[in-house]
Amino acid sequence: MAPQDSPGASTAASESQISPLVLIVDDEAPIAEALALIIEEAGYATLTAFRGPTGLELARKHHPSLIFTDMMMPQLDGAGLIAALRKDAAVSEAPMPTIIAMTAGGLQRIQRDGVNGILPKPFTIEDVEEILHRWLPTAEEEA
């Protein structure tokens, strides 16, 4: 059974507008929820979508600083999501968010899709923290 198509917002996202917002788009709810927990523990706000179209809608509405997207999803896969976001950025002149592709394989194709980084599945807490530290400012850096 597929997870419901409504987005999930973390407590951190609703309580704090200070920390950068991270959007997670993955059709596997346990993976998305585990990733959100790691990111929130690192001090960042999260939004979660379990389908590509919902992820695109959230990205357009909330303008996250970083997006983790699964590359293999039904309806709208990661490559389609990235292409739509690039088109939006070109038309609106809004900055393109940092994109981190999540995948269990197919790295050569993903690199052609123009992502900023890759989070292999399965991932570790350290893998996620390394990406966050590389691409997002810490609370001390923002102050």
DSSP tag of 50 = S
| Residue pair 13/21 in contact by the 8 Å Cβ criterion | yes
The alpha carbon dihedral of 126, 130, 28, 7 has a sign of positive
pLDDT, residue 103, reads: 85
* Exposure letters 21-33 (e unless 16+ CB within 10 A, then b): bbbbbbbbeebbb
pLDDT of amino acid 109:
62
Could you give the 3-state DSSP secondary structure of residue 139?
A: helix
Residue 16 has pLDDT above 70, yes or no: no
**For the structural domain made of 8-135, what CATH number should be given?**
3.40.50.2300
Burial 91-108 (b: 16+ CB within 10 A, else e): eeeeeebbbbbbbeeeee
DSSP code per residue over 97-117: PEEEEEESS-HHHHHHTT-SE
> pLDDT per residue over 78-128, tens digit each?
989 999 999 999 898 788 999 999 988 766 566 666 789 889 899 999 999
Closest by CA position to 28, among listed 84, 81, 68? 68
**What are the sequence ranges of the domains in the chain?**
8-135
> Residue 140 pLDDT > 70, yes or no?
no
Q: What per-residue confidence (pLDDT) applies to 64?
A: 96
pTM for the predicted model, two decimal places = 0.85
Q: What's the whole-number mean pLDDT along residues 46-62?
A: 96
